[in-house]
């Protein structure tokens, strides 16, 4: 543990770490697993004074939501990459191509290192500083490596990043350029993650963002949900489609929607629709659930948004469990070009199943060929070039529409979490010049039909 003590910590509204399985509580600190049942820990809060006006008065980045995050009250005054508040793009062309009524793309390529990982790293860094850590570290499938290296450089501290040796070259270069320590490890991401956990045990002054400070890190994904609601005019969409790697992003967006409803900042989709809603369901949708275990309420409520998860078929343990009706996610060995989703043993996999089933959503998967088609479809219809994870999400959206699991009439938000410039090899065979010509008008006329 760092030199800081719980009594002197300023982590905003965060009051404890609570086990997601048994409810056991622990003081705020670099702990990620319950000592009683080994279940994962997450942050419990006491929210106070959170209003639409207080959020809107905040900075034009994710720190406008600091009243809902485990970060210091003065977090915006520290050196950080200031991610967040990325565009929510209305995707009418893609909607028309897919036969949908209203579709939006939450485009996180606008973040500093061009992926949603800048969000989670910003929150992890803020908490790590407060906990007294001096080194920022991670195992990564690529995007997290970029974000950690950049955030550490901005903060003026050391970074230590471990990645699989077969990672896309673009992501390796975009990590090494920031000057921290980058180690390429022979093995899968799960091998890299296991090594990082062992290193974290030996270096208790290193903050491995997705290991020993994971409860804080994961909360950064909530800001995606907050932003979608605010950008829609303080209302929730009817359904969302989110890529699944570890699964934390989907579960935290679900948590964000529930917190917003519980705090009265948005209306539940269940309450907004009168049809078929029982009195007990209506009460649950507007109530407060005690998540802290000792009477301190963390406002949560049923939000009524249908949650859908997207995986690549070459690494789809959560989708396989969903389709089989299982509650346990069996690990797999990844074999897909969607390397940012290639986590064969996803930590939040069981919770993704819970969320998608509870909200009447689903988890599905698509082949590498289908994900490449998804990349091209989003690029050619909306001018947004997604990385392979985005291609998976578009392709799964199309698949869910074809199987009738997703409503084409319902307002839908698609999450694009990374930039296609990070995964150029995926489209190298299909994205080429139409022709190579001589620098003459006749040559131009010979290939272009005017």
Question: Does residue 2 carry a pLDDT above 90?
Answer: no
What is the rounded average pLDDT for all residues in the chain?
92
pLDDT of residue 7: 60
Q: Is 24 helix (H, G, I), strand (E, B) or coil?
A: coil
Report the CATH number that the domain containing residue 224 is assigned in CATH: 3.40.50.1100
Domain count within the chain:
1
- Nearest-angstrom CA–CA distance, 328 and 294: 30
Q: Is residue 313 part of a domain?
A: yes
Question: Does residue 196 carry a pLDDT above 60?
Answer: yes
Count of Cβ atoms closer than 10 Å to residue 333 Cβ: 11
Give the CA radius of gyration of the chain: 22
Q: Is 360 helix (H, G, I), strand (E, B) or coil?
A: coil
Q: Which residue has the tokens 């009051």?
A: 15
Question: Does residue 290 carry a pLDDT above 50?
Answer: no
Q: Is residue 198 part of a domain?
A: no
pLDDT of residue 198: 94
Q: Is 254 helix (H, G, I), strand (E, B) or coil?
A: helix
pLDDT of residue 287: 41
Flag the least confident range among 235-244, 272-281, 334-343, 411-420: 272-281
Alpha helices in 84-168 (DSSP H): 92-98, 117-131, 143-155
Contact 185, 203 (CB under 8 A): no
**What confidence tens digit (pLDDT) does each residue in 84-134 have?**
999 999 999 999 999 999 999 999 999 999 999 999 999 999 999 999 999
Q: Is residue 263 part of a domain?
A: yes
In sequence order, the β-bridge partners of residue 111 are none
Which whole number is the average pLDDT over 136-162? 96
Percent of the chain with pLDDT over 70: 92
Structural domain of residue 336, as residue ranges?
88-111+220-427
**What confidence tens digit (pLDDT) does each residue in 251-261 have?**
999 999 999 99
Q: Is residue 334 part of a domain?
A: yes
Q: Is residue 72 part of a domain?
A: no
Q: Is residue 440 part of a domain?
A: no
Q: For the chain, first and last CA: distance in Å? A: 69
Query: Regarding predicted confidence, which is higher, 75 or 294?
Result: 75
């Amino acid at each position: 543990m760092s030199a800081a003590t719980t009594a002197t910590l300023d982590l905003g509204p965060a009051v404890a770490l609570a086990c997601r399985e048994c409810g056991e509580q622990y003081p705020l600190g670099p702990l990620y697993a319950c000592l009683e049942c080994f279940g994962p820990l997450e942050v419990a809060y006491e929210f106070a004074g959170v209003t639409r006006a207080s959020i809107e008065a905040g900075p034009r980045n994710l720190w406008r939501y600091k009243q809902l995050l485990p970060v210091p009250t003065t977090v915006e005054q520290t050196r950080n990459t200031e991610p967040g508040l990325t565009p929510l793009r209305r995707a009418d062309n893609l909607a028309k191509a897919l036969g949908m009524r209203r579709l939006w793309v939450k485009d996180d390529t606008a973040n500093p290192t061009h992926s949603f990982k800048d969000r989670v790293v910003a929150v992890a860094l803020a908490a790590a500083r407060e906990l007294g850590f001096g080194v920022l570290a991670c195992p990564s499938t690529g995007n997290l490596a970029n974000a950690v290296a950049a955030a550490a450089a901005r903060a003026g501290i050391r970074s230590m990043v471990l990645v699989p040796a077969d990672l896309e070259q673009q992501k390796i270069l975009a990590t090494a350029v920031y000057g921290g320590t980058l180690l390429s490890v022979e093995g899968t991401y799960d091998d890299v993650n296991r090594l990082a956990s062992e290193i974290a045990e030996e270096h208790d002054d290193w903050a491995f963002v997705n290991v020993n400070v994971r409860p804080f890190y994961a909360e950064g994904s909530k800001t995606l949900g907050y932003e979608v609601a605010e950008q829609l005019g303080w209302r929730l969409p009817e359904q969302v489609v989110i890529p699944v790697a570890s699964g934390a992003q989907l579960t935290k967006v679900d948590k964000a929607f529930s917190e917003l409803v519980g705090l009265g900042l948005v209306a539940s989709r269940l309450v907004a629709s009168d049809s078929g809603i029982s009195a007990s369901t209506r009460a649950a949708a507007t109530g407060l659930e005690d998540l802290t275990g000792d009477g301190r309420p963390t406002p949560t409520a049923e939000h009524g948004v249908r949650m859908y998860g997207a995986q690549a078929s070459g690494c789809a343990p959560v989708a396989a469990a969903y389709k089989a009706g299982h509650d346990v996610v069996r690990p797999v060995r990844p074999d897909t070009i969607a390397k940012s989703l290639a986590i064969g043993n996803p930590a939040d996999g069981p919770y993704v199943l819970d969320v998608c089933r509870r909200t009447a959503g689903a988890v599905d998967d698509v082949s590498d060929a289908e994900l490449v088609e998804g990349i091209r479809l989003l690029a050619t219809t909306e001018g947004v070039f997604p990385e392979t994870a985005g291609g998976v999400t578009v392709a799964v959206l199309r698949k869910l529409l074809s199987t009738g699991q997703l409503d084409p009439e319902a307002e839908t938000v698609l999450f694009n979490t990374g930039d296609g410039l990070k995964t150029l090899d995926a489209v190298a065979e299909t994205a080429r010049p139409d022709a190579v010509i001589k620098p003459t008008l006749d040559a131009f006329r010979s290939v272009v039909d005017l």
